[in-house]
Amino acid sequence: MELHPYLDLSPAVAAALAAGKPVVALESTIISHGMPYPQNVETALAVEAIIRENGATPATIAVIGGRLKAGCTEAEIEYLGKRGTAITKASRRDLAMLVARGMDGATTVTTTMMIAHMAGIEIFATGGIGGVHRGAETTMDISADLEELAQTPVMVVCAGAKSILDLGLTLEYLETKGVPVLGYGTDELPAFYTRRSGFKVDYRVDSPAELAAVFRASRTLGLRGGMLVTNPIPEQYSMDPAVINAAIDEALAQCRARGIHGKETTPFLLAKVKELTGGDSLASNIQLVFNNARLASRTAACLTEG
Protein backbone atom coordinates (compact mmCIF):
# COMPACT_ATOMS: atom_id res chain seq x y z
CA MET A 1 0.00 0.00 0.00
CA GLU A 2 1.23 3.48 -0.91
CA LEU A 3 1.40 5.42 2.33
CA HIS A 4 1.03 9.12 2.82
CA PRO A 5 4.49 10.79 2.86
CA TYR A 6 3.88 12.36 6.29
CA LEU A 7 2.47 9.22 7.92
CA ASP A 8 4.38 6.77 10.14
CA LEU A 9 2.81 3.45 11.15
CA SER A 10 4.26 1.77 14.23
CA PRO A 11 5.68 -1.70 13.48
CA ALA A 12 2.78 -3.38 15.35
CA VAL A 13 0.13 -1.37 13.49
CA ALA A 14 1.81 -1.91 10.13
CA ALA A 15 1.99 -5.67 10.75
CA ALA A 16 -1.64 -5.92 11.87
CA LEU A 17 -2.94 -3.95 8.89
CA ALA A 18 -0.84 -5.93 6.42
CA ALA A 19 -2.19 -9.20 7.88
CA GLY A 20 -5.80 -7.96 7.82
CA LYS A 21 -6.01 -8.12 11.63
CA PRO A 22 -8.20 -5.79 13.71
CA VAL A 23 -6.80 -2.37 14.63
CA VAL A 24 -8.47 0.27 16.84
CA ALA A 25 -7.44 3.95 16.68
CA LEU A 26 -7.28 6.13 19.82
CA GLU A 27 -7.06 9.92 20.12
CA SER A 28 -4.45 11.98 21.97
CA THR A 29 -6.34 15.19 22.88
CA ILE A 30 -7.94 13.13 25.63
CA ILE A 31 -4.37 12.49 26.90
CA SER A 32 -2.91 16.02 26.62
CA HIS A 33 -6.02 18.12 27.23
CA GLY A 34 -8.71 15.83 28.59
CA MET A 35 -7.25 14.38 31.79
CA PRO A 36 -4.61 15.39 34.37
CA TYR A 37 -1.15 13.77 34.57
CA PRO A 38 -0.47 10.99 35.53
CA GLN A 39 -4.00 9.56 35.20
CA ASN A 40 -3.96 10.50 31.51
CA VAL A 41 -0.92 8.32 30.77
CA GLU A 42 -2.11 5.46 33.00
CA THR A 43 -5.49 5.52 31.25
CA ALA A 44 -4.00 5.68 27.75
CA LEU A 45 -1.76 2.68 28.46
CA ALA A 46 -4.59 0.75 30.14
CA VAL A 47 -6.86 1.38 27.13
CA GLU A 48 -4.18 -0.01 24.84
CA ALA A 49 -3.88 -3.10 27.08
CA ILE A 50 -7.67 -3.64 26.98
CA ILE A 51 -7.63 -3.51 23.18
CA ARG A 52 -4.83 -6.09 23.06
CA GLU A 53 -6.69 -8.35 25.53
CA ASN A 54 -9.65 -8.19 23.16
CA GLY A 55 -7.57 -9.38 20.23
CA ALA A 56 -6.94 -6.10 18.42
CA THR A 57 -3.94 -3.82 17.96
CA PRO A 58 -4.19 -0.31 19.43
CA ALA A 59 -3.07 2.68 17.36
CA THR A 60 -2.79 5.79 19.51
CA ILE A 61 -2.69 8.67 17.05
CA ALA A 62 -0.79 11.97 17.45
CA VAL A 63 1.48 14.36 15.59
CA ILE A 64 5.08 14.18 16.82
CA GLY A 65 7.72 16.46 15.34
CA GLY A 66 5.51 17.06 12.32
CA ARG A 67 5.04 13.32 11.60
CA LEU A 68 1.55 11.83 11.65
CA LYS A 69 1.78 8.80 13.96
CA ALA A 70 -0.60 5.87 13.74
CA GLY A 71 0.65 3.94 16.73
CA CYS A 72 2.57 5.82 19.43
CA THR A 73 5.23 4.22 21.61
CA GLU A 74 4.88 4.17 25.39
CA ALA A 75 7.51 6.92 25.58
CA GLU A 76 5.49 9.07 23.15
CA ILE A 77 2.31 8.57 25.20
CA GLU A 78 4.24 9.54 28.37
CA TYR A 79 5.55 12.65 26.55
CA LEU A 80 2.06 13.69 25.36
CA GLY A 81 0.66 13.23 28.85
CA LYS A 82 3.47 14.99 30.70
CA ARG A 83 3.54 18.02 28.39
CA GLY A 84 -0.26 18.22 28.61
CA THR A 85 -1.75 21.49 27.42
CA ALA A 86 1.65 22.68 26.16
CA ILE A 87 0.96 20.36 23.19
CA THR A 88 -1.18 21.99 20.49
CA LYS A 89 -4.74 20.71 20.40
CA ALA A 90 -4.78 19.74 16.74
CA SER A 91 -7.92 20.00 14.67
CA ARG A 92 -8.20 19.88 10.84
CA ARG A 93 -7.10 23.50 10.47
CA ASP A 94 -3.86 22.89 12.41
CA LEU A 95 -2.56 19.85 10.56
CA ALA A 96 -0.72 21.51 7.66
CA MET A 97 1.01 24.01 9.97
CA LEU A 98 2.13 21.32 12.42
CA VAL A 99 3.59 19.25 9.58
CA ALA A 100 5.26 22.24 7.90
CA ARG A 101 6.85 23.42 11.14
CA GLY A 102 7.69 19.95 12.49
CA MET A 103 5.58 20.52 15.58
CA ASP A 104 3.71 18.22 17.98
CA GLY A 105 -0.07 17.96 18.11
CA ALA A 106 -2.61 16.14 20.24
CA THR A 107 -5.24 14.87 17.83
CA THR A 108 -8.94 15.52 18.42
CA VAL A 109 -11.68 13.25 17.14
CA THR A 110 -11.38 15.15 13.84
CA THR A 111 -7.67 14.64 13.19
CA THR A 112 -7.66 11.14 14.68
CA MET A 113 -10.32 10.17 12.10
CA MET A 114 -8.28 11.80 9.32
CA ILE A 115 -5.03 10.03 10.23
CA ALA A 116 -6.79 6.70 10.93
CA HIS A 117 -8.31 6.86 7.46
CA MET A 118 -4.94 7.67 5.84
CA ALA A 119 -3.51 4.62 7.62
CA GLY A 120 -6.39 2.32 6.59
CA ILE A 121 -7.91 2.00 10.09
CA GLU A 122 -11.71 1.89 10.09
CA ILE A 123 -12.64 2.15 13.76
CA PHE A 124 -11.75 4.50 16.59
CA ALA A 125 -12.65 4.44 20.29
CA THR A 126 -12.85 7.52 22.49
CA GLY A 127 -14.83 9.07 25.36
CA GLY A 128 -16.93 11.88 24.00
CA ILE A 129 -17.11 13.83 20.75
CA GLY A 130 -17.35 17.56 20.18
CA GLY A 131 -20.69 18.93 18.98
CA VAL A 132 -22.93 21.96 18.81
CA HIS A 133 -22.27 24.08 21.90
CA ARG A 134 -25.05 25.55 23.96
CA GLY A 135 -25.61 29.09 22.69
CA ALA A 136 -24.21 28.20 19.24
CA GLU A 137 -27.05 30.19 17.67
CA THR A 138 -25.03 33.29 18.62
CA THR A 139 -21.45 32.01 19.12
CA MET A 140 -21.45 29.68 16.06
CA ASP A 141 -19.32 27.29 18.15
CA ILE A 142 -19.82 23.95 16.43
CA SER A 143 -17.07 21.34 16.71
CA ALA A 144 -15.18 20.37 13.56
CA ASP A 145 -15.78 16.77 14.74
CA LEU A 146 -19.26 16.89 13.21
CA GLU A 147 -17.92 17.93 9.78
CA GLU A 148 -15.32 15.19 9.93
CA LEU A 149 -17.96 12.58 10.73
CA ALA A 150 -19.74 13.81 7.61
CA GLN A 151 -16.77 13.30 5.30
CA THR A 152 -14.38 10.65 6.62
CA PRO A 153 -15.36 6.97 6.64
CA VAL A 154 -14.34 5.94 10.15
CA MET A 155 -16.62 4.44 12.78
CA VAL A 156 -16.33 6.37 16.06
CA VAL A 157 -17.29 4.58 19.27
CA CYS A 158 -18.07 7.06 22.07
CA ALA A 159 -20.27 7.34 25.17
CA GLY A 160 -22.47 9.98 23.54
CA ALA A 161 -21.80 13.64 24.20
CA LYS A 162 -21.58 15.64 27.40
CA SER A 163 -24.36 18.03 28.16
CA ILE A 164 -21.80 20.85 28.07
CA LEU A 165 -23.16 20.66 24.50
CA ASP A 166 -26.65 21.18 23.14
CA LEU A 167 -27.43 17.51 22.51
CA GLY A 168 -30.60 18.20 20.53
CA LEU A 169 -28.84 20.57 18.12
CA THR A 170 -25.90 18.17 17.85
CA LEU A 171 -28.28 15.43 16.68
CA GLU A 172 -29.95 17.84 14.22
CA TYR A 173 -26.57 18.76 12.76
CA LEU A 174 -25.59 15.10 12.36
CA GLU A 175 -28.90 14.43 10.62
CA THR A 176 -28.32 17.30 8.18
CA LYS A 177 -24.84 15.96 7.43
CA GLY A 178 -26.08 12.41 6.91
CA VAL A 179 -24.23 10.82 9.83
CA PRO A 180 -25.97 7.75 11.29
CA VAL A 181 -26.14 7.78 15.09
CA LEU A 182 -26.41 4.25 16.47
CA GLY A 183 -27.22 3.38 20.08
CA TYR A 184 -25.45 0.28 21.36
CA GLY A 185 -28.09 -1.62 23.32
CA THR A 186 -30.16 1.55 23.70
CA ASP A 187 -32.74 3.69 21.87
CA GLU A 188 -31.55 6.77 23.68
CA LEU A 189 -28.49 8.94 23.14
CA PRO A 190 -26.27 8.45 26.20
CA ALA A 191 -25.01 11.66 27.83
CA PHE A 192 -21.47 10.51 28.63
CA TYR A 193 -21.61 10.47 32.47
CA THR A 194 -25.18 9.18 32.43
CA ARG A 195 -26.91 6.51 30.36
CA ARG A 196 -29.82 8.67 29.25
CA SER A 197 -30.36 12.09 27.66
CA GLY A 198 -34.01 12.06 26.67
CA PHE A 199 -33.02 12.19 22.95
CA LYS A 200 -33.52 9.24 20.61
CA VAL A 201 -30.75 7.79 18.46
CA ASP A 202 -31.48 6.82 14.84
CA TYR A 203 -31.19 3.07 15.39
CA ARG A 204 -30.58 0.69 18.25
CA VAL A 205 -27.97 -2.00 17.49
CA ASP A 206 -27.33 -4.94 19.82
CA SER A 207 -24.21 -6.68 18.52
CA PRO A 208 -20.70 -5.85 17.28
CA ALA A 209 -21.46 -8.00 14.21
CA GLU A 210 -24.36 -5.75 13.25
CA LEU A 211 -22.30 -2.60 13.84
CA ALA A 212 -19.72 -4.01 11.46
CA ALA A 213 -22.38 -4.94 8.91
CA VAL A 214 -23.79 -1.39 8.89
CA PHE A 215 -20.33 0.09 8.42
CA ARG A 216 -19.52 -2.38 5.65
CA ALA A 217 -22.78 -1.48 3.89
CA SER A 218 -21.94 2.21 4.13
CA ARG A 219 -18.54 1.65 2.51
CA THR A 220 -19.95 -0.59 -0.20
CA LEU A 221 -22.63 2.01 -0.94
CA GLY A 222 -19.82 4.52 -1.45
CA LEU A 223 -21.12 6.86 1.24
CA ARG A 224 -18.44 9.36 2.14
CA GLY A 225 -18.94 9.84 5.83
CA GLY A 226 -18.40 8.05 9.08
CA MET A 227 -20.72 6.64 11.67
CA LEU A 228 -21.27 7.39 15.33
CA VAL A 229 -21.73 4.52 17.78
CA THR A 230 -22.96 5.70 21.18
CA ASN A 231 -22.26 3.23 23.96
CA PRO A 232 -23.77 4.00 27.38
CA ILE A 233 -21.50 4.13 30.42
CA PRO A 234 -21.87 0.91 32.48
CA GLU A 235 -24.57 1.39 35.12
CA GLN A 236 -22.21 0.94 38.08
CA TYR A 237 -20.02 3.86 36.96
CA SER A 238 -22.77 6.26 35.85
CA MET A 239 -23.23 9.47 37.80
CA ASP A 240 -26.22 11.04 39.52
CA PRO A 241 -27.75 13.31 36.80
CA ALA A 242 -28.55 16.05 39.36
CA VAL A 243 -24.92 16.19 40.54
CA ILE A 244 -23.36 16.19 37.10
CA ASN A 245 -25.86 18.64 35.59
CA ALA A 246 -25.33 21.11 38.44
CA ALA A 247 -21.56 20.94 37.83
CA ILE A 248 -22.04 21.44 34.08
CA ASP A 249 -24.29 24.48 34.64
CA GLU A 250 -21.73 26.02 36.99
CA ALA A 251 -18.87 25.30 34.54
CA LEU A 252 -20.85 26.94 31.68
CA ALA A 253 -21.55 30.03 33.83
CA GLN A 254 -17.83 30.41 34.68
CA CYS A 255 -16.88 29.88 31.03
CA ARG A 256 -19.19 32.71 29.94
CA ALA A 257 -18.12 35.00 32.80
CA ARG A 258 -14.46 34.62 31.83
CA GLY A 259 -15.15 35.16 28.13
CA ILE A 260 -13.50 31.87 27.16
CA HIS A 261 -14.08 30.95 23.52
CA GLY A 262 -12.76 29.00 20.54
CA LYS A 263 -10.68 25.87 21.06
CA GLU A 264 -10.23 26.67 24.78
CA THR A 265 -13.93 26.19 25.50
CA THR A 266 -14.11 22.39 25.60
CA PRO A 267 -10.90 21.84 27.64
CA PHE A 268 -11.99 24.57 30.10
CA LEU A 269 -15.43 23.01 30.59
CA LEU A 270 -14.01 19.49 30.97
CA ALA A 271 -11.45 20.61 33.58
CA LYS A 272 -14.02 22.68 35.49
CA VAL A 273 -16.56 19.85 35.63
CA LYS A 274 -13.82 17.59 36.95
CA GLU A 275 -12.82 20.14 39.60
CA LEU A 276 -16.45 20.65 40.71
CA THR A 277 -17.22 16.93 41.03
CA GLY A 278 -13.96 15.96 42.69
CA GLY A 279 -12.52 12.70 41.39
CA ASP A 280 -15.91 11.16 40.60
CA SER A 281 -16.27 12.39 37.05
CA LEU A 282 -12.68 11.40 36.21
CA ALA A 283 -13.28 7.85 37.47
CA SER A 284 -16.46 7.62 35.35
CA ASN A 285 -14.66 9.09 32.37
CA ILE A 286 -11.90 6.45 32.58
CA GLN A 287 -14.38 3.57 32.88
CA LEU A 288 -16.46 4.65 29.89
CA VAL A 289 -13.35 4.86 27.71
CA PHE A 290 -12.45 1.29 28.76
CA ASN A 291 -15.98 0.20 27.89
CA ASN A 292 -15.76 1.84 24.45
CA ALA A 293 -12.37 0.24 23.80
CA ARG A 294 -13.87 -3.23 24.46
CA LEU A 295 -16.79 -2.63 22.08
CA ALA A 296 -14.52 -1.16 19.40
CA SER A 297 -12.14 -4.14 19.63
CA ARG A 298 -14.98 -6.64 19.22
CA THR A 299 -16.41 -4.65 16.32
CA ALA A 300 -12.96 -4.37 14.70
CA ALA A 301 -12.74 -8.17 14.79
CA CYS A 302 -16.08 -8.43 12.94
CA LEU A 303 -14.93 -5.84 10.39
CA THR A 304 -11.89 -7.94 9.49
CA GLU A 305 -13.93 -11.15 9.21
CA GLY A 306 -16.27 -9.71 6.57
DSSP states of the chain as a string? -PPPTTEEE-HHHHHHHHTT--EEEE-SHHHHTSS-TTHHHHHHHHHHHHHHHTT-EEEEEEEETTEEEES--HHHHHHHHHHGGGSEEE-GGGHHHHHHHT--EEE-HHHHHHHHHHHT--EEE-S----BBTTHHHH--B-HHHHHHHHS--EEEE-B--TTB-HHHHHHHHHHTT--EEEES-SB--BTTBS--S-B-SEEE--HHHHHHHHHHHHHTT--S-EEEE-PPPGGGPPPHHHHHHHHHHHHHHHHHTT--GGGHHHHHHHHHHHHTTTHHHHHHHHHHHHHHHHHHHHHHHHHH-
109 binds, among ligand PSU, Mn ion, none (CB under 5 to 8 A by kind): ligand PSU
- Rounded to a whole number of angstroms, the minimum distance from the CB of residue 245 to ligand PSU is 15
Any idea which residues carry the catalytic annotation? 27, 162
Per-residue contact string for residues 192-221; x = within reach of ligand PSU by CB under 6 A: x-----------------------------
Residue 127: closest CA among 203, 2, 43, 197: 43
Query: For residues 64 and 301, which CB has a smaller minimum distance to ligand PSU in the complex?
Result: 64
- Does position 145 bind ligand PSU by CB under 6 A? yes
- Does position 162 bind ligand PSU by CB under 6 A? yes
Are the C-beta atoms of residues 43 and 282 closer than 8 Å to each other? Answer: no
Residues that bind Mn ion (rule: CB under 5 A) add up to a total of 1
- Does position 127 bind ligand PSU by CB under 6 A? yes
- Does position 27 bind ligand PSU by CB under 6 A? yes
- Rounded to a whole number of angstroms, the minimum distance from the CB of residue 107 to ligand PSU is 7
> Which residue from 114, 174, 270, 295 is in contact with ligand PSU, where contact means CB under 6 A?
270
| Distance between first and last Cα of the chain | 20
- Rounded to a whole number of angstroms, the minimum distance from the CB of residue 167 to Mn ion is 16
Query: For residues 43 and 143, which CB has a smaller minimum distance to ligand PSU in the complex?
Result: 143
Query: For residues 179 and 302, which CB has a smaller minimum distance to ligand PSU in the complex?
Result: 179
Residues that bind ligand PSU (rule: CB under 6 A) add up to a total of 19
Are the C-beta atoms of residues 190 and 231 closer than 8 Å to each other? Answer: yes
- Does position 263 bind ligand PSU by CB under 6 A? yes
Region near ligand PSU per CB under 6 A, out of 93-101, 137-145, 275-283, 298-306: 137-145
- CA torsion 114-116-117-118 (nearest 10°) is 90
- Rounded to a whole number of angstroms, the minimum distance from the CB of residue 129 to Mn ion is 12
Residues 52-111 within binding reach of ligand PSU (CB under 6 A): 108-110
Region near ligand PSU per CB under 6 A, out of 5-13, 40-48, 138-146, 166-174: 138-146
- Residue 145: count other Cβ atoms within 10 Å of its Cβ: 28
Per-residue contact string for residues 83-122; x = within reach of Mn ion by CB under 5 A: ----------------------------------------
Query: For residues 57 and 108, which CB has a smaller minimum distance to ligand PSU in the complex?
Result: 108
- Does position 141 bind Mn ion by CB under 5 A? yes
Residue ranges binding Mn ion (CB under 5 A): 141
Residue ranges binding ligand PSU (CB under 6 A): 27, 29-30, 34, 108-110, 127-130, 143-145, 162, 192, 263, 266, 270
